[in-house]
Amino acid sequence: MFNMKKQQQAEPLASVVSDAAVRADNITKNYGEGEAEVRALCTVSMEVGYGEFVAVMGPSGSGKSTLMHLLAGLDRPSNGNVYIEGDNVTTMKDNELTMLRRKRVGFIFQAFNLIPQLTAEENIVLPLMLAREKANGNLESILDQVGLTDRRTHKPTELSGGQQQRVAVARALITQPAVVFADEPTGNLDSKSSDDILSLLRNAADERNQTTVMVTHDAHAASYADRVVFLADGKIVRELSEPTEASVLEAIKEVAAL
């Protein structure tokens, strides 16, 4: 179901971790040069299994957004490699990355990032539009899933924040990507809307086996994930499986005390 063919073709190294949708292999990211050099990530390795919903947490400046950008192929690591479904993202050319983003990766941002001049429906099918594909049968079920069937013709400015983010979630899911990256998806939302969005992501993981990586600093949001990865000073310092809000808060305290 998950691109078995691709995995078989992948280089030998990847076969070791063929059960990973996303794999980071000793990645380092430096910004700036010389004395001004800042090490944002320091030899980080991690894996996200197929259908797994992983939350990445950490204080500001811990490198969690950097990690997400590297995993998603939005930025290149200074060292190390990133694999999505066994394909090395690090060495991809610009047009290969374009195809990767178009077909195999979905994004959800804190600021929704919808196109203001397009309707909700047009925003959702935008990745298909860019690929010059017809809206597939998924559209109706996804619209139904995010509860926007009656709002499909509305422009983003006519929607609430929660509704806009639901459009963004639908846009990320429409291409049935290998992995969805969510960068603080609830950062701009009230708690009710946040719960809606998090439930959507949780359901996608449960029902569609949707692999998801979510960056957040909200313990409540992290409790929806299967696993939480804690970053501090560019390193993974702790992991937590089957998190609850309480265990996440406790882990945050421990990490801060390190």
Partner 1 sequence: MTKVALKGLGLHKARAVLTTLAVVIGVAMISGAYVVSDTMLSAANSLSGSAYDNTDAVVTKHQAFSTGSDTVGTAVTVKPDVLQKVRSLPQVAAATGDVTEQAKLIDKKGKVIGSGPYFAVGLDPVNGKNLTPFKLTQGHFATTSSEVVVDKGTADKQHYKLGDQIKVSAIGPVKSYTIVGITKWGSVDNFGTATAAIFTLPEAQAMFHKGNAYNSILVGARSGVSPEQLRATLKTQLGSDVTIQSAKKQDRFTLDGLTSFVKIIRGILVGFGMVSIFVGAFIIFNTLSITVAQRIRELAMLRTVGASRRQVMRSVVGEAAVMGVLGRSSAFCSASPSPRVCRRS
Q: How far is the CB of 101 from partner 1 (least distance, A)?
A: 5
- Rank residues 18 and 113 by Cβ distance to partner 1 and give the closer one: 113
- Rank residues 34 and 116 by Cβ distance to partner 1 and give the closer one: 116
Q: How far is the CB of 128 from partner 1 (least distance, A)?
A: 9
Whether 231 and 45 have beta carbons less than 8 Å apart is answered as no
Sequence-distant (≥ 6) Cβ neighbours of residue 178 within 8 angstroms:
2, 3, 21, 22, 84, 85, 104, 105, 211
Whether 182 and 152 have beta carbons less than 8 Å apart is answered as no
Tokens of 239: 């992991």
| CA–CA gap between residue 55 and residue 64 (Å, rounded) | 10
Closest by Cα among 173, 44, 170 to 105: 173
Q: How far is the CB of 180 from partner 1 (least distance, A)?
A: 12
| CA–CA gap between residue 70 and residue 28 (Å, rounded) | 10
Q: How far is the CB of 94 from partner 1 (least distance, A)?
A: 6
Whether 65 and 213 have beta carbons less than 8 Å apart is answered as no
- Rank residues 44 and 108 by Cβ distance to partner 1 and give the closer one: 108
- Rank residues 126 and 249 by Cβ distance to partner 1 and give the closer one: 126
**Which positions touch partner 1 (CB under 8 A)?**
74, 94-95, 98-99, 101-103, 107, 109, 113, 115-118, 122, 126-127, 129-131, 171, 175
Strands (E), 19-154: 20-31, 38-49, 53-57, 79-84, 87-88, 105-108
- Rank residues 14 and 204 by Cβ distance to partner 1 and give the closer one: 204
- Rank residues 165 and 175 by Cβ distance to partner 1 and give the closer one: 175
Q: How far is the CB of 68 from partner 1 (least distance, A)?
A: 12
| CA–CA gap between residue 87 and residue 17 (Å, rounded) | 11
Q: How far is the CB of 213 from partner 1 (least distance, A)?
A: 14
H-helix or E-strand containing 7? helix 4-9
Q: How far is the CB of 63 from partner 1 (least distance, A)?
A: 20
- Rank residues 71 and 251 by Cβ distance to partner 1 and give the closer one: 71
